[in-house]
Amino acid sequence: MAPRLRGIKEISSERAPAPPQAHAVPSGVAASLRGVTRSFGFRKVLGGLDLDIAAGEFVALIGRSGSGKSTLLRALAGLDQEVTGSIAAPGPVSVAFQEPRLVPWKRVLANVALGLRAADPVSVARTALREVGLAERESAWPLTLSGGEAQRASLARALVREPRLLLLDEPFSALDALTRITIHRLVLSLWERHRPAVLLVTHDVDEALALADRVLVLGDGRIAHQAPITLPRPRDRDHPALSALRLRLLTELGVPADSTQLTPVTFRSGMPSRIPWAPPRSELRGPTD
Partner 1 sequence: MLVPTPARTAPAGTGSHGFAAAFGGPGLVVADDAAAAGGRQPAGRRFTGQGWLRLISPVVAVGLWQAASSTGLLPASKLGSPASIVHTAYNLIVADSPTYGTLQSSLLVSCERWAMGFAAGVVAGVFLGVISGLSRAGETILDPIMQALRSVPLLGLIPLFIVWFGIGELPKVLFVTLAATFLMYIETFAGIRNVDRKLAEVGHVLGLRRSEMLRHIVLPGALPQVLTGLRLSLVASLLALVVGEQINASAGLGFMITQAEQFLQTSVIMVALIVYAILGLLADALVRLLERKALVWRRGFVE
Enumerate binding residues for partner 1 (CB under 8 A).
12, 14, 77-79, 93-95, 97, 99-101, 103-106, 114-115, 117, 139-147, 150, 157, 161
For residues 153 and 216, which CB has a smaller minimum distance to partner 1 in the complex?
153
141 close to 89: Cβ distance less than 8 angstroms: no
Distance from C-alpha of 284 to C-alpha of 286, rounded to nearest angstrom: 7
For residues 61 and 209, which CB has a smaller minimum distance to partner 1 in the complex?
61
Distance from C-alpha of 23 to C-alpha of 70, rounded to nearest angstrom: 23
Distance from C-alpha of 35 to C-alpha of 136, rounded to nearest angstrom: 46
Cis peptide before 234 (omega within 30 of 0): yes
CB 77 to partner 1: min, Å = 6
Our measurement of the distance from residue 89's CA atom to the centroid of its chain's CA atoms, rounded to an integer in Å, reads 15
CB 173 to partner 1: min, Å = 15
For residues 166 and 208, which CB has a smaller minimum distance to partner 1 in the complex?
166
243: β partners: none
CB 6 to partner 1: min, Å = 12
Q: Give residue 48's identity as a one-letter amino acid code.
A: G
CB 101 to partner 1: min, Å = 5
Our measurement of the distance from residue 227's CA atom to the centroid of its chain's CA atoms, rounded to an integer in Å, reads 17
CB 18 to partner 1: min, Å = 17
Our measurement of the distance from residue 111's CA atom to the centroid of its chain's CA atoms, rounded to an integer in Å, reads 20
CB 114 to partner 1: min, Å = 6
| Listed residue (155, 227, 140, 222) closest to 185, CA to CA | 155
Q: Is 182 helix (H, G, I), strand (E, B) or coil?
A: helix
For residues 104 and 232, which CB has a smaller minimum distance to partner 1 in the complex?
104
CB 278 to partner 1: min, Å = 32
For residues 100 and 196, which CB has a smaller minimum distance to partner 1 in the complex?
100
Q: What is the DSSP code string of 230-277?
A: -PPSSPPTT-HHHHHHHHHHHHHTT--GGGGGG-S-BBPPS-----TT
For residues 180 and 246, which CB has a smaller minimum distance to partner 1 in the complex?
180
Distance from C-alpha of 124 to C-alpha of 118, rounded to nearest angstrom: 8
For residues 34 and 106, which CB has a smaller minimum distance to partner 1 in the complex?
106
Measured CA to CA in angstroms, residue 180 lies from 22, 173, 207 at distances of 37, 8, 10
CB 154 to partner 1: min, Å = 9
For residues 24 and 177, which CB has a smaller minimum distance to partner 1 in the complex?
177
